[in-house]
Amino acid sequence: MNDWQRDWPAPAKINLFLHVVGRRADGYHLLQTVFRFLDFGDTIRCEPRSDGRILLANPLPGVAPESDLTIRAATALRAATGATAGVTLHVEKRIPMGGGLGGGSSDAATTLLALNRLWRTGLDSLQLQSIGLALGADVPIFIHGRSAFAEGVGERFTDVTLPAAWYLVLTPAVTVPTHAIFGSPALRRDTPAIAAADWRPGFGHNDLEAVACSLYPEVQRHLDWLRQYGDARMSGSGACCFVEFVQESAARAALAALPADMRGFVAAGIDRHPLVKPFGS
């Protein structure tokens, strides 16, 4: 298939834990987390244009085109490389907005990865990550493309090996603005840091969870329901929350038992972004 005709995957992510370990002088929070991708996400198709414009075929309701991360990513790549080509971006959304699953960041990263290839701009992963970091703190992990322990503002990575797992992810019908969580005076910002080598599956918690639950009781209600199955946690700054299963059948049985007023999906954890090649390939 011609690359201009293909669908480019933009997978969701979950944060297996998320600690706020400090705050920089410029206001950015210092984090420690482990990112894992899911075999669930958005897709993007790129349509070439001859007029040099960068457009979104299906703008998100309430989001100005110039604020959309996919438009910003394409514009930033062109500015960084001197490319002049235009593109229409067709984004098929499945990842909920404001859910802590990294949908906008993943879409931006996939836009960078796709257009770097389609426009033949030739940037390597670190160069694309640098462009991505200016768009948002979660964009670089999707370009890095492997399960990783992340530090700093979320841009310094140590790859980790994770056991196979399935996740039941619940998607409360609320949008949690990231700034509302990080701006809260109730947010704990002094969790002790650990060395990446000391992290183990099951460690830690999500420091943002208590604030999100206090502001959005629906998040707390979904977490409470999930906890009958194990150590349920919120992902990122919310509102989505998840619990881990060893077997797909158990995850799907829990999904089938979901109350009628709750929504969710089952997905496998994946160790590599679909667009990132294995080492040595």
Q: Where are the beta strands (DSSP E) in the chain?
A: 8-23, 29-49, 54-56, 86-92, 148-151, 156-159, 166-170, 233-234, 241-245, 264-270
Half-sphere exposure of 118 (CA within 13 A, CB side): 28
pLDDT of residue 164: 97
pLDDT at 238 over 90: no
User: What's the whole-number mean pLDDT along residues 210-238?
Assistant: 96
Active site residue 277: no
pLDDT at 281 over 80: no
pLDDT of residue 278: 62
Backbone phi, then psi, for 87, in 5-degree steps?
-160, 145
Active site residue 13: yes
What torsion do the CA atoms of 226, 231, 236, 237 make, to the nearest 10 degrees? 60
* Cα(66)–Cα(143) distance, integer angstroms: 22
Percent of the chain surpassing pLDDT 70: 98
Q: Output the six-digit token pair for 142.
A: 């999707």
pTM of the entire predicted model: 0.95
CA 171 from centre of chain: 14
Q: Where are the beta strands (DSSP E) in 85-171?
A: 86-92, 148-151, 156-159, 166-170
Residue 24 Ramachandran class (φ > 0 left, ψ -120 to 50 alpha, else beta): beta
pLDDT at 1 over 60: no
* Pick from 62-66, 182-186, 211-215: least confident: 62-66
Q: What is the 3-state secondary structure (H, E, C) of 192-206?
A: CCCCHHHCCCCCCCE
> Long-range contacts of range 117-125, CB-CB < 8 Å, 24 or more positions apart?
117/3, 118/3, 118/4, 118/46, 118/48, 118/87, 119/77, 119/78, 119/81, 119/83, 119/85, 121/77, 121/81, 121/83, 122/81, 123/77, 123/80, 123/81, 125/276
User: What's the whole-number mean pLDDT along residues 228-243?
Assistant: 96
Locate tokens 């909920």: which residue?
Answer: 96
The helix, strand and coil proportions of the chain, stated in percent and rounded to the nearest 5, come to: 30, 25, 40
185 exposure class (CB count in 10 Å sphere: 0-12, 13-18, 19+): exposed
Segment (H or E) for 83: none
What pLDDT band is residue 280 in, cutting at 50, 70 and 90? very low
User: What's the whole-number mean pLDDT along residues 144-166?
Assistant: 95
Query: Domains of the chain, with CATH numbers?
Result: 3-159 (3.30.230.10), 166-270 (3.30.70.890)
pLDDT at 151 over 90: yes
CB-based contact 121:77 (threshold 8 Å): yes
Give per-residue pLDDT as tens, 243-273: 999 999 999 999 999 999 999 999 999 999 9
Locate tokens 């920089």: which residue?
Answer: 24
* Cα(81)–Cα(63) distance, integer angstroms: 26
What pLDDT band is residue 125 in, cutting at 50, 70 and 90? very high
pLDDT of residue 202: 95
User: What's the whole-number mean pLDDT along residues 233-251?
Assistant: 97
User: What's the whole-number mean pLDDT along residues 189-218?
Assistant: 96
Average pLDDT value over all residues in the chain = 95
Give per-residue pLDDT as tens, 33-45: 999 999 999 999 9
CB atoms within 10 A of CB 1: 6
User: What's the whole-number mean pLDDT along residues 4-24?
Assistant: 96
Amino acid identity for residue 219 in this structure: V
> Among the options 13, 42, 107, 207, which is catalytic?
13
> Among the options 42, 68, 107, 138, which is catalytic?
138
What pLDDT band is residue 63 in, cutting at 50, 70 and 90? confident
* Pick from 56-65, 162-171, 218-227, 231-240: least confident: 56-65
Give per-residue pLDDT as tens, 87-103: 999 999 999 988 999 99
